[in-house]
Amino acid sequence: MPDQKVLRFGIICQYSKIEDWKLRSIIDMQKKRQAELSLIIKPARIESSERKKRIMAPSVKKRFKSLQLQDLLNEYSGIPVLDYQDDHHSNEQVRKAELDFIIDFDGLLGREFTASCKYGVWAFQQGDEQSYSYGSSCFWEIYNDESVTAVSLYRYAEKKDEKILLKKGYFATIKDSYMKNKDHICSSVSAWPSMVCKDILNGNAAYLNGNPAVSTSAKAFGSPTQVQWFIFYSKLIRNKIKKLVTQLFCYEYWNVGLVNQSIENLLNETQPAIKWLVEKKDLYYADPFGYEENGRLHILMEELDHKVVNGYISKLDVNLGGDKDVTIDSSIIRLPSHMSYPYILHHKEDVFCIPETSEENEVAVYQLNKITKKWIKAKTILEGFPAVDATIVKHEDRWWMFCTRGGTESQTHNCELHLFYAEHLFGEWKAHKQNPVKIDIRSSRPAGTPFYQEGSLYRPAQDCSETYGGRIVLNKIITLTTTQFIEEPASHVQPEKNSLYPDGVHTLSSLNSQWTLIDGKRFDYSIFHLFKKLHKFKPVKRLEIEKHSDKHVRNV
């Protein structure tokens, strides 16, 4: 980070209490020595938080952490406090404080000080097509049965109806729990002011002065009524029951197949016909990536045993001519931790595999030994980061790695896209300056092989908004540099509804100009699954890493 002074910021406190996620946002900037709190602005007659509490049902009120404003003022006793009054004097006081920016967490008063600090006033807004007051955040998405919750951090523009977007994220709505939904969203967005501060200090925040967008005129939702709370709780109960039934009586199965088209053609084919390589309903073969050798197709894939949970890498060989016999070698690469997504990469006449090993907190490259046909770990190219579904491609003069972030934080493995780059495949990999470059449950997590079409780079990604691996989005990359990243959805690939696996697709990998690999998902509900799941909780000895493959042959 360049040697610059620490930024100075102020906050606007509208209520007599300040929520925990807002405190985390303030503390985060100060701990990272990006900015220091220099002014607290509150109305001369501060509004009681009792009005805000009325939007919440009694059982919810007591469950969220907050701090009395007076305790905050005591904690920061040396910081000036401005008792705001709607007059010229208040604006003069803000100007004298020489602030770089102000955060208006509740989006109620900040526009008054738009011209009073260097980088303006920042505020949060929830909703995309609709606008929700942040005091009722995370309520209306569940009430309206919305699969996605959109949140924005924006800067007030000079005109009253205009805003400049700073950060935006799309999160999967947790429909069976108001508290979990609110907590995971607020926890995620609390870091956004710190990210903008980092960009400012790195000289990478041109977007702060970008073209303003006109505020939406869509319907705005305010505080719910008691009747709406009753309907809301009825929907929560319904969603909890649906989730419990799925947990007790449903297994998720995957299978891999072939599409008789090139991956480029799928830009115009939303629901391709799939030839399943093993036509059975109780398999868990997913994440197929392949290469050809001596007239045979070799497919590496995730195989998962529901009794053990952890996945491992298996190989499926297909003779594309003749009777198309299929040979399966189980567990060709296995670790004590979970493995999946065995991404295949060709480089300098060698074949490499980069399996997902986020539980090992690394990205490792395995190389195929041309003589023994065994996969040998060649090098760990990224350490200390739980990369999920690492996808590597050479674009122009650099290698690029797309991945999401694993770990304990909710949804980051599905919605938080990170970028790394290197001059050489086995060289030093550096994190992109804007990481995470994208937060979108609909199109972040990698879903297969990037490809070129008419000079543009396209990146398959998962849409997990309705369900994990619900469909694939083909994103067109507009800008890819060490300081900027922009992509936009170009088309979608949907599951084949009249097939054995109609409920999802989440991997699309290129094989050649004729064939593309794909996988598919099906939900299987049965009362007998309950007994299988109960049996799974009995002590099970962890399977040892097999030295030899369990080879068997099946015919398609």
- DSSP annotation of 77: T
Question: Which residue has 């491992």 as its token pair?
Answer: 312
- What integer pLDDT is reported at residue 62 of this predicted model? 45
CA distance 252 to 443: 22
Residue type, 347: H
- What integer pLDDT is reported at residue 88 of this predicted model? 66
Question: At 199, which helix (H) or strand (E)?
Answer: helix 192-201
- What integer pLDDT is reported at residue 161 of this predicted model? 77
- What integer pLDDT is reported at residue 536 of this predicted model? 62
CA distance 525 to 523: 6
- What integer pLDDT is reported at residue 285 of this predicted model? 95
- CA distances for 252 relative to 44, 279, 283, 467, 520, angstroms: 57, 16, 9, 11, 10
Nearest CA to 184 out of 413, 442, 8 is that of 413
The list of the chain residues with pLDDT below 50 reads 1-2, 48-64, 134, 539-556
CA distance 335 to 197: 40
- What integer pLDDT is reported at residue 131 of this predicted model? 57
The sign of the dihedral angle between the CA atoms of 242, 245, 247, 250 is negative
CA distance 508 to 474: 10
- What integer pLDDT is reported at residue 281 of this predicted model? 80
Question: In the structure encoding, which two tokens stand for residue 527, read together?
Answer: 């009362």
3-class secondary structure, 505: coil
- What integer pLDDT is reported at residue 60 of this predicted model? 47
Nearest CA to 32 out of 187, 272, 199 is that of 199
- What integer pLDDT is reported at residue 50 of this predicted model? 43
Longest Cα–Cα distance in the chain: 86
- What integer pLDDT is reported at residue 551 of this predicted model? 41
- Which domains can be identified in the chain, with CATH numbers? 7-224 (3.40.50.170), 244-537 (2.115.10.20)
- What integer pLDDT is reported at residue 321 of this predicted model? 66
